[in-house]
Amino acid sequence: MMAAATELNVQGEIRYDEPMSRHTSWRVGGPAETFFVPANVDDLSQFLAELDAGTPIFWHGVGSNLLVRDGGLSGVVISATKMLRDLDRVDEDRVRAGAGVPCTQLARQCIRWGLGPSEFFAGIPGTVGGALAMNAGAHGGETWERVASVRTIDRDGVVHERTPDDFEVAYRSVNGPENEWFLEATFYFDPDVEPSMDAMKAMLERRKSTQPLGLPSCGSVFRNPPGDFSARLIEAAGLKGQRIGGAEVSTKHANFIINREDATASDIESLIEHVRQTVLDVHGVSLQHEVRIVGEVAS
């Protein structure tokens, strides 16, 4: 695979054995065998079209909801968020946003345009692409409630225009055509809903006061179970402050695991499993993790 990638004619940047700890919000993770930063969509399309069909591909955003194991990732990691940053108003109530646009930027600009409800996007860490991939939500709003259409690219480099009917969307879950990745989305808003910059600022202040934002983490580790909150269950099980190696259950928000002191991905994954098993033993509730765990265990 390395030889195949080396022979590709690209405008962007190809790196080898790139530490994924540089590209995840937990600041952990082994090396990516090949790390590609395309220059533009045409460059990305050509790269995919020429890539060996058997090469594994991992699409990387900003790594805000990602745990890469210490053994790293084989194949190619594609980091395209820097080029997918366009944000335009399409018409009176629709906005087109590239997959690399930070959700907070989307919220701020929609509020400036007077488009609502859009404030909830400010509560979503990461980018539009990541929010689309997992139907991220905050403060009562979910990404796919606002999606009018999306553009995707498949592993052959072909761009597709798709509607929500092409996807199965649920709470923190999106299933669609296999081996396609989001390039951009068009969102629609309600012209009768007046957004509030003050409301958005209040959301961000609340997030700042209740979450350990100054330390490496991935945001919420577990999905909320029906009718309850993962943080409440974890705290009630006496897990706040629990540590494995350099990983710690936050004392500020129990559904956050922080890299307290040079944690490894193995420390974090072990602590995730310890929390899951303890909550199951204490409460009889099986928590499902929201974070995506990928890569190889270090040998």
Q: At a CB cut-off of 8 Å and minimum separation 6, what does 167 contact?
A: 144, 174, 175, 176
The answer to whether the beta carbons of residues 5 and 38 sit under 8 Å apart is no
147 Rama class: left (phi>0) / alpha (psi -120 to 50) / beta: beta
DSSP string, 118-161: -GGGGGS-SBHHHHHHHT-EETTEEGGGSEEEEEEEETTS-EEE
Instruction: Respond yes or no: is residue 15 known to be catalytic.
Output: no
Instruction: Respond yes or no: is residue 172 known to be catalytic.
Output: yes
Alpha helices in the chain (DSSP H): 2-6, 41-50, 103-112, 128-134, 197-210, 230-236, 265-283
Tell me the C-alpha distance between 78 and 288, whole Å.
Answer: 27
What 8-state DSSP symbol labels residue 42? Answer: H
Instruction: Respond yes or no: is residue 27 known to be catalytic.
Output: no
- Report the relative pairing of strands 243-244 and 180-188 from DSSP bridges: unpaired
Give the active site residue among 85, 89, 94, 172. 172
Q: At a CB cut-off of 8 Å and minimum separation 6, what does 135 contact?
A: 142, 143, 144, 169, 170, 171, 172, 173, 174
Side-chain half-sphere of 87: how many Cα atoms within 13 Å? 20
In one-letter notation, the amino acid at residue 132 is L
Residue 102 DSSP SS3 = strand
Give the active site residue among 21, 64, 118, 220. 220
Q: Which residues belong to the active site?
A: 172, 220, 290
